[in-house]
Amino acid sequence: MTNVLWVRASYWSRLLVYILLSLAAVFTIVPFLWAMINSVKTVADTFQPGAMVPYLNFSPTLQSWHEVLSDPQVVRAFVSSVVVSSGTTVFVLILGVPAAYSLARFSFPIPSNDIALWFLSQRVLPPAVVLVPFYLLLVRLRLIDTWTGLIFCYSTFNLAFAVVIMRDIFRDVSTEVEDAAKVEGATAWQIFWLVALPLSVDGLVVTSVLVFAFTWNEALFASALTSQDAMTFSALVLASRSTRGVDFNIASVNTLIGIIPPVILYFFVQRYLARGLTFGAVKG
């Protein structure tokens, strides 16, 4: 999809655009590259900043990777993160998508905009503030250090995304198909399941990816509410400072491991993001 502005731009303008974009790309990539380089250094090597090119300035080794990946705690934490993030995503979809549909299609005593905004306002709550009651609640329910406990907490924080994004998506879905189905005798549920949902896959994908990414990233709650069994990768990394300070090589390996699932998801769903991220603000 070419933009007419590009087509009509002068050579210099185009060059400028490329330069700026390249700068942005470089700015973005450098930390990743640095992480990759450091992840194949030994601890001693990490103190030589000049050693930047593998095989040229230093001999790379997979020792750091081995050290991290062979720690069963790391593997467990990684699994925990995957389970908790996926579980939260699923749960949020189950709770939020029907609610979003309802807000999109029906009218309520309170304007649906306000209800949607109310959901969004839940995100204002800093986790640190509600840490205490959540902690005590989980203790009472014996859900401390369990995946379920974390999923409950994260679902609360991320429900807003599902509701706001999906509401917008549903409003875009044309109602003609739904009307036609109704004429055929479909029940409300059937219309929801078999008509509306399939037409809104874009939005579901966006919501899922966002919720997954935000949950994957969260460290504060995970740190406070888990210790051994359900500790997520985020919380584990938070606690990875050693008495020597931060080990460059370990920190780099952690970074790279930590970005794998979300970034993979991101690569797959990029094109859907365009549609879903407008949050209802643009019509056109």
Partner 1 sequence: MADVRIRRLEYGDRFKYVLLLPAVVWVVAFTFLPLFSVVRYSLSAYVLGRGITGFVGLANYVQVLQSDRFWHSIMVTAIYVVVSVPVEVVLGFLAAWLVNLSPPGARAFRTIIGAPLFTMEVAIGYLGVTLFSSQGGLIATVLAHLGIDIPWLSSPEGGLAAAILLDVWRWTSFVFLIVLAGLGSISSELYDAAILDASNHWQVMWRLAIPLAWPVTTIAILLRTIEGLKVFAIPFALTTGGPGTSTEVFSSTDYLTTIQFFDFGKGSAMGVTFLIMVSAIIALFFRQMRRNMP
Partner 2 sequence: MSHREHADQFKELACDYLRGRIGRRRFIMLAGQLGFSTAILAKLTRPALAVGNLLPSASGAPYESPITQERVDFLKTKPYKGTTINVMVLKATVGDGLKYHVPHWEEQTGGRVNVAEVPIETLHTQIFSDLTSGLGRYDAYMTGAWFYGDYFQPEQPYIVPIAKFLADPRYPHWDPGEFLPSMKKLYTWKGELYGVLFDADSQALYYRKDIFTNPEVQAKFKAKTGYALPVPPKTMQQMHDLADFFTGSDWGGTGPGWGISLHAKVNEQGFFHFLTLAAPYVINPENKYFFFNPETMKPLINSEGHVRALEDYVKFLANGPREQISWTLGQGWNLFLAGQAAMEPTWGDLPTLAQDPKTSKVQGKMGATAIPGTTESFNPIGGGWKKYDLNQVGNTNGGSWHCVISRFSKKQEATYDFLGFMANRRNAFFNATHGWTGVQPGMRYQYLPPAGTSTIAEWQAQGWNPADVAEYLHGYYEGLAMPLQEEYLRIPGTAEYWHELDVNVSAVLGGQMKAKQALDATATSWEAITERYGRPQQKALYQASFAQ
Provide the binding-site residues for partner 2, judged by CB under 8 A: 73, 139, 142, 144-145, 223-224, 227-229, 239-245
CB of 239 to partner 2, least distance (A): 5
Cβ–Cβ under 8 Å, residues 221 and 138: no
Place of tokens 């210790």: 227
CB of 229 to partner 1, least distance (A): 19
CB of 242 to partner 2, least distance (A): 7
| Site residue total, partner 1 (CB under 8 A) | 117
83 exposed, middle or buried (CB, 10 Å; 0-12, 13-18, 19+)? Answer: middle
Kindly tell me which of 70 and 129 has the beta carbon lying closer to partner 1: 129
Cα atoms in the Cβ-side hemisphere of radius 13 Å centred on 236: 26
Kindly tell me which of 16 and 239 has the beta carbon lying closer to partner 2: 239
Q: For the window 4-43, what string marks contact with partner 1 as x by the rule CB under 8 A?
A: xxx-xx---xx--xx-xx--xx-xxxxx--xx--x-----
Q: Which two tokens stand for residue 277?
A: 């991220």
Residue 268 interacts, among partner 1, partner 2, none and using kind-specific CB cut-offs from 5 to 8 Å, with none
Kindly tell me which of 31 and 198 has the beta carbon lying closer to partner 1: 31
Where does 107-194 have alpha helices with state H? 112-121, 127-140, 147-172, 175-183, 188-190
Neighbouring residues of 12: CB distance < 8 A, sequence distance ≥ 6: none
Kindly tell me which of 50 and 245 has the beta carbon lying closer to partner 2: 245
How far is Cα 155 from Cα 158, in angstroms, rounded to an integer?
5
CB of 30 to partner 1, least distance (A): 8
Residues 128-157 that bind partner 1 (CB under 8 A): 128-137, 152-153, 155-156
Residue 36 interacts, among partner 2, partner 1, none and using kind-specific CB cut-offs from 5 to 8 Å, with none
How far is Cα 29 from Cα 35, in angstroms, rounded to an integer?
10
How far is Cα 174 from Cα 195, in angstroms, rounded to an integer?
10
